[in-house]
Amino acid sequence: MNVRTLCLAILHFGEVTGYEIKKLAEDGKFCYFIEASFGAIYPALTRMANEKLVTWRSEVQEGKPVRKIYSITDSGRQEFVQSLYEEPKPDRFKSEFLLMMLCSNTLDRHYVTKLIDKKIIELENERKMLEGLCDNNKSSAETFVTGYGLNMNKAALKYLLEHRSLLEDQQFSVS
The answer to whether 25 and 36 are in contact (CB under 8 A) is yes
Residue 143: per-residue pLDDT: 86
Do 9 and 79 belong together in one domain? yes
Domain extent at residue 69: 3-83
Other C-beta atoms lying within 10 Å of the C-beta of residue 126? 17
Do 67 and 134 belong together in one domain? no
Instruction: List the CATH number of the domain containing 23.
Output: 1.10.10.10
Count of domains for the chain: 2
Q: Does residue 88 lie within any of the structural domains?
A: no
56, 83, 110 - which closes a domain = 83
Residue 146: per-residue pLDDT: 86
Examine the pLDDT at 73 and tell me if it is beyond 70: yes
Do 77 and 139 belong together in one domain? no
83, 109, 139 - which closes a domain = 83
Which is more confidently placed, 158 or 141? 158
What's the predicted TM-score (pTM) here?
0.77
Predicted confidence band of residue 38 (pLDDT cuts 50, 70, 90): confident
141 has which bridge partners?
A: none
Predicted confidence band of residue 174 (pLDDT cuts 50, 70, 90): low
Q: Does residue 120 lie within any of the structural domains?
A: yes
Q: Is 109 exposed, middle or buried (0-12, 13-18, 19+ CB in 10 A)?
A: middle
Q: Does residue 12 lie within any of the structural domains?
A: yes
Predicted confidence band of residue 137 (pLDDT cuts 50, 70, 90): low
Examine the pLDDT at 175 and tell me if it is beyond 60: no
The answer to whether 150 and 130 are in contact (CB under 8 A) is yes
83, 106, 130 - which closes a domain = 83
Q: Does residue 175 lie within any of the structural domains?
A: no
Q: How many residues would you count in the chain?
A: 175
